[in-house]
Amino acid sequence: MHDERGMSRSDFLRSLVFGAVAAGSGVSIAGPSQVPGPQLDLTLDELRAFAKISGLTFTDAELEQARRDIATDRAGFTAIRQATNDYGLVPPNVYRIPGEVDELGPFKVDVKPATVRPKRPATDEDIAFMTVNELGHLLRTKQISSLGLARIYLDRLKKYGNRLLCLVTLTEELALRQAAEADREIAAGKYRGPLHGIPYGIKDLFAVKGYPTQWGTEAFRGQVIDENCAVFEKLSIAGAVCVAKLSLGALAMNDVWFGGRTVNPWNAKEGSSGSSAGSASATAAGLVPFAIGTETSGSIVSPSLRCRVTGLRPTFGSISRFGAMCLSWSMDKVGPICRTAEDAALVMASLLGRDERDLSSIDRPFQYRSPKDLKGIKIGILGRQDAEYALMLASLGATLGEFKLPRAPQGLDAIISVESATMFDAITRNGKLNLVKENGWPQSFRSARFIPAVEYAQAERARTKLFRDYEAAFAEFDLVVGAGTVGPMIYNTNLTGHPQIHVPFKPDDKGGYTSFSLFAKPFQEAKMIAAAHVVQMKTEFYRLRPDLSKI
């Protein structure tokens, strides 16, 4: 065995690397003398300045030793970048919710929403604003065809999509083909389930073969990815009909993309918020009955708040992200934006299941029955105990208590900063980052280069503590509720992986409206959806429509 005593760290690591290369390739390497020496172009003052970021000081002798090791590390960084020139690669130590997965039980999905038996409305406009559950009944009872339904939504997308700046690509040929197939199958008695023949829109960070996938920014305008994302595959198996690719804020931030700022259908002077900007705007405007969004930190619930629709962020790992733009491999989640909570349950159910192409995805059960009341459900209230939505939840049978928000340490934003900068390292280096003018990602990606790796790892350790703190805070409750999107909880519950649903509540006397969000323990979306459903059946806010004549 080679004796590494007396060698510098650089020489020892180089001997390991080159020894492994030789052993694996059959190539004979004479020894370290044939390896080019490290480039010692960093000064001690530069290293001293970088150490200062972490509040550290070192002697000149210590810095000189580090300088030689860093030179070797930099050569390794180059090799790693070359080896990871595949956007689909994510770390194998992807985040998993601590202590939960093994307790879930067998993979079983069984969703039974409320029974509805609507008659076909007289106008296409009225049809456009029906729920997924209601449209499914029209299709099953042959009061409308999938082709007829697709044409209603395609026409509305053509009329309003560009006005709202929510439409990126109309997938008309695909939609008509899928709808015709759905009609043939339904006519033959082959019924795939509640989404069979239902149109939908998908956020334009998901790859769909034959169509551009442009991630909202000029830097990737015209990009075509020759594969179908897992979400599209799942929805196609369910018989759903893809009518459009919808806008997102550039690289999944805010509501500005290369086409402009996506509009809130309720107020043309406002953007729709983001980053699932087009998914929320199109659903609110009746351009699709449901849409698919993604969330890293608020990107489903925030535009749902602005556009007055129901947005569901499932537990982390529930839905495969294969074929979707990755912003943060340990935080990104896929979820539906719909009119009602039960519609969201139907969509979510169709998307669940382990996918070997997404290391974070798991098989997890999801069973839901439409409830009549909330007896036996204990809900923690964050904020005003006398809020109208809280009183309504209590009147429906829930028991209420005070929820104490765990305090998170500062610095956890390092996690999303480092992971997003890693995913877009290539455009930071090749100059395409300068084309991202729609928002502040360039500054974030550059600043993240100065977050030391040790501090990033410390943030991940603090994240484990944060999950434990939330687990303790949730222990006595089935659900937690708060006003709007409950801003103080958004980033932290995205870090911990907890599910959230945003629920529009009531119009106010100022032309706006009130809403609330429910949070559940991991994998307990059914309880969250049940509480949202009973409130929505009381208020029927989902029946209200924006005035598109003002757009």
Annotate 295-324 with DSSP letters as a single string: ESSSTTHHHHHHHT-EEEEPPTTSB--TTB
Of residues 145, 203, 272, 297, which has the active-site annotation?
203
Report the C-alpha gap between 502 and 392 in whole angstroms: 16
Look at residues 186, 279, 312 and name the one whose alpha carbon lies nearest to residue 239: 186
Task: Report CA-CA distances (Å) from 39 to 43, 63, 75, 216.
Answer: 11, 15, 9, 39
Q: Which two tokens stand for residue 460?
A: 């991940």
Report the C-alpha gap between 39 and 76 in whole angstroms: 12
Report the C-alpha gap between 344 and 336 in whole angstroms: 6
Backbone angles phi, psi at 235, to 5 degrees: -70, -35
203 is catalytic: yes
Of residues 281, 299, 420, 517, which has the active-site annotation?
299
320 is catalytic: no
Report the C-alpha gap between 356 and 363 in whole angstroms: 11
Q: Which two tokens stand for residue 254?
A: 């805010």
CA dihedral 139, 143, 148, 149 (to 10 degrees): -50
Task: Report CA-CA distances (Å) from 537 to 185, 346, 402.
Answer: 32, 17, 25
User: Which are the contacts of 459, defined by CB distance < 8 A and separation ≥ 6?
Assistant: 411, 412, 414, 415
273 is catalytic: no
Yes or no: say if 464 and 99 are a contact pair by the CB < 8 Å rule.
Answer: no
Of residues 145, 247, 273, 275, which has the active-site annotation?
275
Report the C-alpha gap between 397 and 391 in whole angstroms: 10
Half-sphere exposure (Cβ direction) of 304: Cα atoms closer than 13 Å = 36
Yes or no: say if 528 and 499 are a contact pair by the CB < 8 Å rule.
Answer: yes
Look at residues 13, 15, 139 and name the one whose alpha carbon lies nearest to residue 77: 13
Locus of tokens 């093994």: 102
Half-sphere exposure (Cβ direction) of 421: Cα atoms closer than 13 Å = 19
Yes or no: say if 247 and 285 are a contact pair by the CB < 8 Å rule.
Answer: no
**Buried b / exposed e along 509-526 (16+ C-beta atoms within 10 A):** eeeeeebbbbbbbbbbbb
How many other CB atoms are found less than 10 A from the CB of residue 351?
A: 23
* Three-state DSSP class for residue 380: strand
Q: Catalytic residue positions?
A: 203, 275, 299
